[in-house]
Amino acid sequence: MEPKPKWTRLLIWSTLGSTIGAGVPCGYCMGVINSPAVHMRAWCEATLLRNYGLRLTPATLDTLWALIVAIFLIGGVLGSACAGWAANRFGRRGCILLSGSLLGLAGIGFLSCRLLHSVELLLLSRLVVGFGAGLVSTTLPMYHSEIAAVPQRGTLGVCCSVGFSIGMVVAQLFTLQALFGSEQHWHIALGFYLVFMAICFAPFRYYAESPKWLFIVRKRREEALQVLVRLRGTDVGLQQEILAMEQEADSKSSSRNLIQVLRDHKMMLPLLLLCAYQGGQQLTGCSSIFYYSVSIFQSSGLSPRTAELLNLAAGNVNLLTSLMGPLLMAKFNRRTLMLLSSSFCGLLMFAFGWLTEYSVLIPWLSFGTIASVFLYLFFFQLALGPMPSFIGAELFEVPSRSVALSLGNQVGWSCNFLVGFLFPTMHSLLGFWIFIVFSMFSCLLYLLTKFYLPETRGREVSHVAQLVSRGFHSKVL
């Protein structure tokens, strides 16, 4: 019987530090503009009138606000597009450091935009922080999966998702009117994540680099073995892990580009799975709740104060469930969790849309609306929330991994952009039917999982890659 891998200080420190220093700030920036939206909109309107004598109509102001929300996601698409190259060029740890530099610059811009009376600086900072978040969302799950032993991979793989969830809750807390969500202090709320970065990036040089990147991509095998021993706490029982890296390094080129991956017919099914999960995660309705929950609650007949508190409560439900992710991924199969998550999310999003439509006519239905949101977030974090961020690391071998994860994240950020930018317009045109559309995407993910997702928990990536190598003719069960 093989000994269980140790949870060494280096492994824990590298995971926690990178999660809090990179994952939490990115989640923070996703959730920070929900509550103070009314003050930020008023400031944008007043600033443009002051600087240019430009009076915005309500429709124009809505478009500008949608752009401020969505330009973060445009940056995410661009960052994801560069992440594969950056992760191979600078290393997984180096790419995280690069993203931290971008997040730091954006934070300074957030703190300065109100003082400088510059809407343009606000937009630019949102774009830059989105670019950094795109790098993080691609590189951080890859980094965690590659420093973990196979039995630890699921536990560490969800840490990026957990970091994003923590960041969103912290943002909801600090944007309360009693703290930094007021008319005078919203710019402080936007840049407050710099505190987390300062704490966790200060000792960054002591974090471990990915031994797989060192061994396979850079061919620095002696250094890779030294890092691997430090991560595992012993050189006993490493033969299988070293053999797996040697097989990957000897059988393939050190890294593959996008054209090579797209032309390889063996990559068709794993790419489809990865892109479907990344994009489908956003198209199941989570983004509409994260970005517009306050306005959705208000449209159900609730007061602004109640809507703000419910938004914070929903964030806490999302966080508490995400904290269960490491345990769930260690104890339960990926397929089981994804089937359960996608089916219930589809049902609950359907119920949420129906109840939202009729709660204005029947006030007590608003309680059902609230319950649907909370239950949706619970089932979303069982699998739809955490799994897309790391499932690529369990489907693709190292030479193809960075490019595949980069492509998957581009699809995810693009779908996030579409929902974030178009949701207000689509909601006004379609009403509750927009939530029915979201529920249909959950059903499609359920079918894709049932027929084409192999079980990846506890399996070497090379074995999983063989299971999905025959496209739609693959026998994954």
pLDDT at 414 over 90: no
Q: Output the CA–CA distances (angstroms, integers) from residue 455 to 246, 278, 376, 465, in the order listed.
A: 24, 18, 24, 11
Average pLDDT over residues 78-103: 90
Query: Comparing 62-66, 112-116, 326-330, 450-454, which segment has the lowest mean pLDDT?
Result: 326-330
Tokens of residue 181, six digits: 């969500």
Collapsing DSSP states into helix, strand and coil, what is residue 56? coil
Q: How many domains does the chain have?
A: 1
| DSSP code, position 471 | G
Return the top range by mean pLDDT from 22-36, 73-87, 111-125, 225-239: 111-125
**pLDDT score of 299:** 66
pLDDT at 301 over 70: no
Q: Output the CA–CA distances (angstroms, integers) from residue 167 to 16, 23, 287, 347, in the order listed.
A: 14, 7, 15, 27
pLDDT band at 106 (very low <50, low <70, confident <90, very high): very high
Summarised one tens digit per residue, pLDDT across range 193-216 is 999 898 888 888 889 999 988 988
- 24 and 196 Cβ atoms separated by less than 8 Å: yes
Collapsing DSSP states into helix, strand and coil, what is residue 454? coil
Summarised one tens digit per residue, pLDDT across range 140-150 is 988 998 898 87
**pLDDT score of 1:** 45
Average pLDDT over residues 410-419: 85
Instruction: Give the percent of the chain with pLDDT over 70.
Output: 94
pLDDT at 112 over 90: yes
Higher pLDDT, 440 or 324: 440
pLDDT band at 47 (very low <50, low <70, confident <90, very high): very high
Summarised one tens digit per residue, pLDDT across range 323-367 is 887 788 878 888 999 999 999 999 999 988 888 777 667 777 778
The CA distance from 60 to 152, in Å, is: 50
Enumerate helices (H) and strands (E) in the chain, giving the number of each: 23, 0
φ, ψ of residue 369 in degrees (nearest 5): -60, -45
pLDDT band at 276 (very low <50, low <70, confident <90, very high): very high
Tokens of residue 234, six digits: 């012993």
Q: With CA atoms as reference, report the closest residue to 456 among 447, 446, 466, 448.
A: 466
Higher pLDDT, 423 or 130: 130
Residue 104 sits in a domain of what CATH number?
Answer: 1.20.1250.20
Decide if 196 is inside a domain.
yes
**pLDDT score of 250:** 67
The CA distance from 324 to 329, in Å, is: 9
Decide if 2 is inside a domain.
no
The CA distance from 378 to 391, in Å, is: 20
Q: What's the domain range around 264?
A: 9-473
The residue written with tokens 């597009």 in the block is 81
φ, ψ of residue 386 in degrees (nearest 5): -85, -35
Q: With CA atoms as reference, report the closest residue to 218 among 100, 80, 92, 98.
A: 92
Secondary structure (DSSP) of 240-255:
HHHHHHHHHHHHS-S-
Decide if 4 is inside a domain.
no
pLDDT at 300 over 70: no
The CA distance from 274 to 276, in Å, is: 5
Q: What one-letter code names the amino acid at 135?
A: L
Tokens of residue 416, six digits: 């996030």
Spatial neighbors of 168 by CB under 8 A, at least 6 apart, are 27, 28, 30, 31, 290, 315, 318, 319
Decide if 449 is inside a domain.
yes
**pLDDT score of 97:** 92
CA 172 to chain centre: 17
- Look at the alpha carbons of 120, 125, 131, 133 in this order and tell me if their dihedral is positive or negative: negative
The CA distance from 341 to 287, in Å, is: 16
Average pLDDT over residues 415-426: 78
- Look at the alpha carbons of 364, 366, 370, 375 in this order and tell me if their dihedral is positive or negative: positive
233-244 b/e (C-beta count within 10 Å ≥ 16 → b): eeeeebeebbeb
**pLDDT score of 143:** 92
**pLDDT score of 290:** 67
- Kindly report the pTM of this predicted structure: 0.78
Decide if 3 is inside a domain.
no
pLDDT band at 32 (very low <50, low <70, confident <90, very high): confident
Of the chain, the end-to-end C-alpha distance in Å amounts to 26
Dihedral in degrees, nearest 10, Cα atoms 237, 239, 244, 248: 140
Decide if 58 is inside a domain.
yes
Q: Output the CA–CA distances (angstroms, integers) from residue 471 to 252, 264, 411, 468, in the order listed.
A: 20, 11, 20, 6
